């Protein structure tokens, strides 16, 4: 192996003592391939297992914590105890290949298609419709405080199920316009109670979810268990989340006793669109704000080995590969074996079987121009 890539393969140990074999993670990506009842399919287990041989950690696609939180067709769930055996299959399939398994848990909020949720009733922090996505213009029901508490408890129950299924951790999905982000966003949260108003009050729901998950883990986990949190730094809407607001959020999150924070970006070199007067990248600002309080996972347009080294040189201790680990499941092994020039960075549309990609995900990829390099 070329020595300049050594840093990618150093083990990483969390504060809780869990050690990752290297710094590369598989990023959470929806795959549309689960059974209608929310159970995991064999095709999904095979897909994850194929990518678990090289990476140190796999963060799964999101699993809904309540029936009305399902955001995608073909999404696996974590909202019922009868799904634990299914989740166990997934955790086992990942771990037997040597990677740590982290279950991402979420609620889609106003981004849930009405035909996927009970009575077609989508919910959010306030009755403000989304301006983008498949639910654009649909007015959600504003959650009552009692309903909010039920969802907070549901995040805790999903964490318990993840523990019982044998996962090594959970990632709380506070990014990508879903419910937790909807509570933090001034676009979707117009509440005037303790959950809305100032930046600090808009943090209330995310912090309650974190506290609940931490308490459940303390009660149910017999060994160290990872708790991570994913966030998106900005929103295009006005009003919307701005970079300065996210820096306030991250400053608070860094003191919550989490094992990591995970920034959701399309490009790890991107710069803020508003809220701060600087030429620094979003990642640089986040690292400055966090300091050494909690590890930050970076993701976004990391394709080549040199891209990964560049991201680590920015100060990111852990890197998550999304599209690239689908394009080339052997990315890690190729670098280790000194064959980094053989890494595929564009999708070969003739290799679905070799890449072990479930058909629903494959169809989504090849029919969405611009999402993956090589798909026109």
Q: What is the mean pLDDT of residues 177-184?
A: 98
List, in order of start, the domains of the chain with CATH numbers.
3-340 (3.20.20.70)
Q: Give the residue from 106, 9, 7, 120 showing the smallest Cα distance to 59.
A: 106
Write out the catalytic residue numbers.
Answer: 178
Non-local CB neighbours of 156 within 8 Å, separated by 6+ positions: 212, 213, 215, 216
Phi-psi region of 57 (alpha: psi -120 to 50; beta: other; left: phi over 0): beta
Q: What is the mean pLDDT of residues 176-196?
A: 98
Burial code of 58-68, b = ≥16 C-beta within 10 A, e = fewer?
bbbbbbbbbeb
Query: Which tokens is 28 given?
Result: 């959470």
* Cα–Cα distance for residue pair 368/211, rounded to 1 Å: 38
Instruction: Supply the mean pLDDT for the chain.
Output: 97
Q: Are 160 and 216 in contact (CB under 8 A)?
A: yes
Q: What is the mean pLDDT of residues 342-371?
A: 96
pLDDT tens digit sequence for 23-39 = 999 999 999 999 999 99
Running DSSP on this structure, what letter comes out for residue 91? H
* Cα–Cα distance for residue pair 37/34, rounded to 1 Å: 8
pLDDT tens digit sequence for 52-95 = 999 999 999 999 999 999 999 999 999 999 999 999 999 999 99
pLDDT for residue 3: 96
pTM score over 0.85 = yes
Q: What is the mean pLDDT of residues 123-148?
A: 98
* Cα–Cα distance for residue pair 123/68, rounded to 1 Å: 8
DSSP strand pairing (19-20 vs 296-299): unpaired
User: DSSP per residue over 226-275, as a string?
Assistant: EEEEEE-S--SSSS---HHHHHHHHHHHTTTT-SEEEE--S-TT---SSS
pLDDT tens digit sequence for 326-354 = 999 999 999 999 999 999 999 999 999 99
Sign for the pseudo-dihedral over CA of 189, 295, 156, 66? positive
Question: Which residue pairs, CB below 8 angstroms and at least 24 apart, start in 13-16?
Answer: 14/224, 14/226, 14/259, 14/260, 14/295, 15/259, 16/224, 16/225, 16/226, 16/259
pLDDT for residue 50: 97
Q: What is the CA radius of gyration of the chain?
A: 19
The yes-or-no verdict on residue 376 having pLDDT over 90 is no
* pLDDT cut 70: percent of the chain above it: 100
Neighbours of 211 (CB within 10 A): 15
* Cα–Cα distance for residue pair 12/73, rounded to 1 Å: 35
Q: Can you point out the beta strands (E) in 53-142?
A: 57-64, 100-106, 123-124, 141-142
Q: What is the mean pLDDT of residues 114-138?
A: 98
Task: Please give the C-alpha separations between residue 113 and each of 47, 64, 183, 271, 284, in angstroms, as whole numbers.
Answer: 25, 13, 19, 31, 36
Q: Give the residue from 328, 323, 325, 322 showing the smallest Cα distance to 354.
A: 328
* Cα–Cα distance for residue pair 292/370, rounded to 1 Å: 36
Q: What is the mean pLDDT of residues 231-254?
A: 98
Locate tokens 């999150």: which residue?
253
| Per-residue confidence band for 322, with pLDDT thresholds at 50, 70 and 90 | very high
pLDDT tens digit sequence for 203-215 = 999 999 999 999 9
Residue 334: φ, ψ to 5°: -65, -40
pLDDT tens digit sequence for 261-310 = 999 999 999 999 999 999 999 999 999 999 999 999 999 999 999 999 99
Is 16 strand, coil or helix? coil
């Amino acid at each position: 192996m070329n020595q300049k890539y050594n840093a990618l393969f150093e083990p990483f140990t969390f504060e809780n003592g869990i050690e990752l074999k290297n710094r590369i993670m598989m990023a959470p990506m929806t795959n549309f391939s689960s059974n209608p009842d929310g159970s995991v399919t064999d095709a999904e287990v095979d897909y994850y297992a194929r990518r678990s041989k090289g990476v140190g950690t796999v963060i799964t696609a999101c699993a809904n914590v309540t029936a009305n939180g399902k955001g995608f067709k073909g999404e696996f769930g974590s909202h019922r105890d009868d799904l634990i055996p299914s989740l166990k299959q997934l955790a086992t399939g990942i771990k037997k290949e040597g990677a740590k398994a982290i279950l991402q848990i979420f609620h889609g909020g106003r981004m849930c298609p009405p035909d996927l949720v009970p009575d077609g009733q989508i919910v959010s922090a306030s009755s403000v419709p989304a301006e983008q996505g498949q639910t654009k213009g649909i007015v959600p029901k504003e959650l009552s405080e009692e309903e909010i508490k039920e969802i907070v408890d549901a995040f805790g129950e999903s964490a318990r199920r993840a523990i019982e299924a044998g996962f090594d951790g959970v990632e709380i999905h506070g990014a990508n316009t879903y419910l937790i982000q909807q509570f933090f966003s001034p676009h979707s949260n117009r509440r005037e109670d303790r959950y809305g108003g100032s930046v600090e009050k808009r943090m209330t729901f995310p912090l309650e979810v974190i506290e609940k998950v931490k308490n459940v883990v303390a009660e149910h986990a017999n060994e160290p268990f990872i708790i991570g949190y994913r966030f998106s730094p900005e929103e295009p809407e006005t009003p919307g989340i701005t970079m300065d607001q996210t820096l306030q959020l991250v400053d608070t999150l860094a003191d919550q006793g989490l094992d990591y924070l995970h920034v959701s970006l399309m490009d790890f070199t991107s710069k803020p669109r508003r809220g701060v007067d600087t030429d620094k990248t979003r990642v640089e600002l986040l690292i400055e704000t966090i300091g050494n309080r909690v590890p930050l996972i970076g993701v976004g347009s990391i394709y080549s080995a040199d891209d990964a080294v560049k991201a680590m040189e920015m100060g990111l201790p852990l890197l998550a590969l999304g599209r690239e680990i689908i394009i080339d499941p052997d990315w890690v092994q190729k670098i280790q074996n000194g064959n980094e020039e053989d890494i595929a960075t564009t999708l070969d549309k003739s290799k679905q079987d070799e890449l072990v990609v479930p058909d629903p995900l494959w169809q989504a990829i090849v029919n969405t121009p611009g999402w993956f390099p090589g798909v026109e």
